[in-house]
Amino acid sequence: MKTAFFAACVASAAAFAPSTKPAFGTSLAGKQDFLEAEPYWDQSTVPVNVYKNKAPFTGKVVSTKRIVGPKATGETCHIIIDHNGDFPYWEGQSWGVIPPGVREKDGKPHSVRLYSIASSRYGDDMTGKTGSLCVRRATYWCPELKAEDPAKKGICSNFLCDTKPGDEIQMTGPAGKVMLIPEENPNTDLIMVATGTGIAPYRGFIRRLFFEDTPAANAYKGTAWLFMGVANSDALLYDDELQEVKKKFPNNFRLDYALSREQENKKGGKMYVQDKVEEYADEIFTKLDNGAHIYFCGLKGMMPGIQDMLKSVAESKKIDYEEWVKELKAKKQWHVEVY
């Protein structure tokens, strides 16, 4: 069934394919099985820090596209980078980006910024030669000027969002193992909690498990459940892809949005992602007791609210929250990547 879905998803993925390349499906016949470990779930060969600051990799931009609506709070771009198959990575890892130029304060090169990779290891074109980033343009609104202050804008995010096809990007990594998918048991449920561009690694997960004809997709029998928090409907990311997966795999994929400026929580306040997770607290606690893995990715400010909510639920169940989390971490069921 998932193999058939690969063909059905060609049109959806084509939205991110560069116009200079053939549309999805024209040159992508065959399985996505040529970048797998042996067996596919073995994480002992995950590449880490192959390219470092002093000897970075040079990637080339294929396309940069704004992917939010006009009423979104800020601009978010999807950037496809060609690495010619020379910069392998796994889902859940990050790339480092070194923006061009030097720091004004001391004339030294800019430091590396890490971005979660927003594609599977096969890339959006499924050739294994590209990877994607999901980047929100960082700006600073000056209350005195009543305008954006360009002197305080994010150096790297603005560089990336301003890139054009053919532009070169200095890159390091891949970094991290904390957000990898546990694929040895194909019945494992995945609970993914994101705010904003924190959806990036989960897009890689979802493409690997549902879009592509991978060994992991063919074996997967669990449920992948995404909780996504953004300000409003225009700020939703990759919604077309997510809705397609939800339609095709209602028994294996669940999707819940928290739109803080459009929805209310049960107390009549703004609906944040922790409020949406709390609505399903009993089910989530049960899944975690049964071996599910839970992931958190996004701005670090998301974690206090989530932890307070989980602690409150745990106390209502007469569970020692600190011991509960400690046990989840010991079993490697608890994954956090915030920035």
Coil, strand or helix at 155: helix
Tell me how far apart the alpha carbons of residues 294 and 312 are, in angstroms, rounded to a whole number.
Answer: 18
Tell me how far apart the alpha carbons of residues 188 and 182 are, in angstroms, rounded to a whole number.
Answer: 8
Would you mind telling me the total number of residues written for the chain in this entry? Answer: 339
Q: Which of 51, 115, 202, 257 is catalytic?
A: 115
Q: Which of 174, 10, 200 is nearest to 116 (CA)?
A: 200
Confidence at residue 213, expressed as pLDDT on a 0 to 100 scale: 95
pLDDT of the chain along its 339 residues, tens only?
554 454 444 444 444 443 332 222 323 447 899 999 999 999 999 999 999 999 999 999 999 999 999 999 899 999 999 999 999 999 999 999 999 999 888 999 999 999 999 999 999 999 999 999 999 998 765 566 556 656 567 899 999 999 999 999 999 999 999 999 999 999 999 999 999 999 999 999 999 999 999 999 999 999 999 999 999 999 999 999 999 999 999 999 999 999 999 999 999 999 999 999 999 999 999 999 999 999 999 999 999 999 999 999 999 999 999 999 999 999 999 999 999
Residue given tokens 């890339």 in the structure block: 123
Q: Which residues are annotated as a binding site for NADP(+)?
A: 116, 136, 197, 260-261, 270, 298-299, 337
Angstrom CA distances, 303 to 30, 128, 296, 320, stand at 41, 34, 8, 18
Per the annotation, the verdict on 339 as an active-site residue is: yes
Say if residues 94 and 132 touch (Cβ distance below 8 Å). Answer: no
Q: Which residues are annotated as a binding site?
A: 116, 136, 197, 260-261, 270, 298-299, 337
Q: How are beta strands 168-175 and 57-66 bridged, if at all?
A: antiparallel
Domains annotated on the chain, with CATH:
57-175 (2.40.30.10), 190-338 (3.40.50.80)
Per the annotation, the verdict on 202 as an active-site residue is: no
Q: Which of 92, 82, 78 is nearest to 16 (CA)?
A: 78
Tell me how far apart the alpha carbons of residues 123 and 85 are, in angstroms, rounded to a whole number.
Answer: 10
Tokens standing for 75? 């601009």
By the 10 Å C-beta count (0-12 exposed, 13-18 middle, 19+ buried), 108 is classed as exposed
Q: Which of 94, 116, 119, 120 is catalytic?
A: 116
Give yes or no for a cis peptide into 304 (omega within 30° of 0).
no
The CA-based diameter of the chain, rounded to the nearest angstrom, is 59
Tell me how far apart the alpha carbons of residues 175 and 64 are, in angstroms, rounded to a whole number.
Answer: 23
The pTM of the full predicted model, rounded to 2 decimals, is 0.89
Per the annotation, the verdict on 337 as an active-site residue is: yes
Helix (H) or strand (E) holding 222: none
Say if residues 192 and 204 touch (Cβ distance below 8 Å). Answer: no
Per the annotation, the verdict on 140 as an active-site residue is: no
Confidence at residue 8, expressed as pLDDT on a 0 to 100 scale: 46
Residue 96's identity, in one-letter code, is: G
Q: Left (φ > 0), alpha (ψ -120 to 50) or beta: where does 29 sit?
A: beta
Neighbours of 268 (CB within 10 A): 6
Per the annotation, the verdict on 142 as an active-site residue is: no
Say if residues 80 and 63 touch (Cβ distance below 8 Å). Answer: yes
Tell me how far apart the alpha carbons of residues 150 and 127 are, in angstroms, rounded to a whole number.
Answer: 38
Tell me how far apart the alpha carbons of residues 210 and 8 are, in angstroms, rounded to a whole number.
Answer: 11
CB burial string 245-257: b at 16+ within 10 A, e below: beebbeebbbbeb
